[in-house]
Amino acid sequence: MPSLNKASLWLRRQNPGRASVFGIPLLWLLVFFGLPFLIIARISLSEVVIGLPPYSDLLSWSEEGVLQLRVSFANFLLLFEDSLYFDAFTGSLCVAAVSTLLCLLLGYPMALGITRAPAHWRVPLLMLVILPFWTSFLIRVYAWIGILKGNGLINNLLLWLGWIDQPLKLLHTDFAVYLGIVYAYLPFMVLPLYATLSRMDHSLLEAAADLGCRPLCAFWRVTVPLSMPGIVAGSLLVFVPAVGEFVIPDLLGGPDTLMIGKVLWTEFFNNRDWPVAASVAVALLALLVLPVMLFERFREKEQEA
């Protein structure tokens, strides 16, 4: 094949059009998506200084004309030593994992229900799942404030029914954060699940029934394994962004809701400590590399199928 290889190389050199098709987006993404991560890594190793930009240079010329390299691991040590960061990381992972599970438990019957609905109902039902996603995320989270707060809809209803005497504290709790995340990310779970479930061959279920498998058993041993690609894709689409979520814990969570996205935001905007914010981002990235890679592998496979 070497001659063919050479020929294709020659052809490629002859064709600047082809090079620009992949070259332009590649260049854009390298500059605006790849490069920033190097910069984050660099700034996470510097120290906070007063000035603009508020971080120290790694390389500097000393007075004797010596090029100095100052690398500070203090920010990363801080992440390990100060329990705030550790708790925020574990808190985020826990919230994201539980919310993903809840999304799956609610999203699966929804996706299954859509595939089993009469054919002319399917498109409208799908549209109804997609519609909230197109309206503002921020405003949908905000809607829960009116429902959950002390004199909000739920408390008013329960008081009116006489079930409670005192308004319950629902807003600014961990419960509200779970609710908000499940609510906001539910469409991301339903859509990939629907995509795999709708491709499923229905005769497999009939075969299982003929072989004496009860519906629940057929569901567990046929439907669930076949929909695994949708389960994985949906779970990753919920889990990874939920770990770094800022808006929901900020608006619905309480002062003791510790999530890493909020910590990063506070370090950056309130404490103006860019190096610590950068090191939080690096740690978060390290945490998410595995799930993101998994998602990527998975998407490639889906693309080929």
Considering only residues 131-170, where is the footprint of other proteins by CB under 8 A? 131-132, 134-140, 142-147, 149, 151-153, 156
Q: Is the dihedral of CA 148, 150, 152, 156 positive or negative?
A: positive
Specify the residue, 174 or 281, whose C-beta has the smaller distance to other proteins.
Answer: 281
Q: How far is the CB of 64 from other proteins (least distance, A)?
A: 25
Q: How far is the CB of 216 from other proteins (least distance, A)?
A: 7
Considering only residues 36-65, where is the footprint of other proteins by CB under 8 A? 36-37, 39-40, 43, 53
Applying CB under 8 A, which part among 31-39, 59-67, 81-89, 162-170 lies near other proteins?
31-39
- 35 is an interface residue for other proteins by CB under 8 A: yes
Applying CB under 8 A, which part among 65-73, 77-85, 179-187, 224-232 lies near other proteins?
179-187
The Cβ-side half-sphere exposure at 5, using a 13 Å CA radius, reads: 2
Size of the site for other proteins (CB under 8 A): 95
Specify the residue, 214 or 221, whose C-beta has the smaller distance to other proteins.
Answer: 214
Identify which of 98, 145, 156 has the alpha carbon closest to the alpha carbon of residue 252: 145
Specify the residue, 64 or 163, whose C-beta has the smaller distance to other proteins.
Answer: 163
Q: How far is the CB of 73 from other proteins (least distance, A)?
A: 19
Applying CB under 8 A, which part among 71-79, 80-88, 159-167, 265-273 lies near other proteins?
265-273
The DSSP-derived string for the chain is -HHHHHHHHHHHHH-HHHHHHHHHHHHHHIIIIIHHHHHHHHHHTS-B-SSSS-B--SEEE-TTS-EEE----HHHHHHHHSHHHHHHHHHHHHHHHHHHHHHHHHHHHHHHHHHHS-HHHHHHHHHHHHHHHHS-HHHHHHHHHHHHSTTSHHHHHHHHHTS-SS----TTSHHHHHHHHHHHHHHHHHHHHHHHHHTS-THHHHHHHHTT--HHHHIIIIIHHHTHHHHHHHHHHHHHHHHT--HHHHHHS-TT---HHHHHHIIIIIS--HHHHHHHHHHHHHHHHHHHHHHHHHHHHHHH-
- 67 is an interface residue for other proteins by CB under 8 A: no
Among 6, 70, 116, 199, binds other proteins (CB under 8 A): 116
Applying CB under 8 A, which part among 63-71, 73-81, 83-91, 292-300 lies near other proteins?
292-300
- 7 is an interface residue for other proteins by CB under 8 A: no
Considering only residues 218-237, where is the footprint of other proteins by CB under 8 A? 219, 236-237
Q: How far is the CB of 213 from other proteins (least distance, A)?
A: 12
Considering only residues 71-110, where is the footprint of other proteins by CB under 8 A? 106-107, 109-110
